[in-house]
Amino acid sequence: MEVKSLNAICVWSENPKELAKFYSDVLNLPFDKELNLPNDTGIQFKIGETYFFVGLHDKIQGKAKDPYRIMIGFTVDSVQKTYDEISPKGVEFIQKPTPSPDKTFYVSTALDPEGNIIQFYSNKP
């Protein structure tokens, strides 16, 4: 087997419409479609060729219990510009824009409303 690309990322929630509103309104992710099937409900975004799905899951309750287990990364033009743009919207950052440990890119780290860690990456500050 050879994996050719990453097709989708799913973030499960007990309140997917509210969480999807954050990704839509604050991060401006491009809306693709909404699913309202009996066993598949949620909001789908499409970033390039990758689907980002925020869906309802009956086994999820409350905020992320271990947010450091998986971190969702988004490439942006500038981590500093992203920080300056979304901080006033109430986004909690746990790492302000900084060079990566090996100094090859810049990164900042924030939390979505359910405590999932999201990171922003760019080649310039």
The answer as to whether 64 is a domain residue is no
Residue 46's pLDDT is 98
pLDDT, tens digit, for every residue of 86-108?
999 999 999 999 999 999 999 99
Predicted model pTM: 0.93
Structure tokens, 8: 């989708």
The answer as to whether 63 is a domain residue is no
The residue range of the domain holding 39 is 1-58
Count structural domains, the chain: 2
Beta bridge partners of residue 42, listed in sequence order:
35, 55
Residue 77's pLDDT is 97
pLDDT, tens digit, for every residue of 25-40?
999 999 999 999 988 8
Residue 39's pLDDT is 86
List, as own/partner pairs, every contact residues 35-44 make where C-beta atoms lie below 8 angstroms and the sequence separation is at least 24, other chains included.
41/16, 42/16, 43/16, 43/17
The answer as to whether 25 is a domain residue is yes
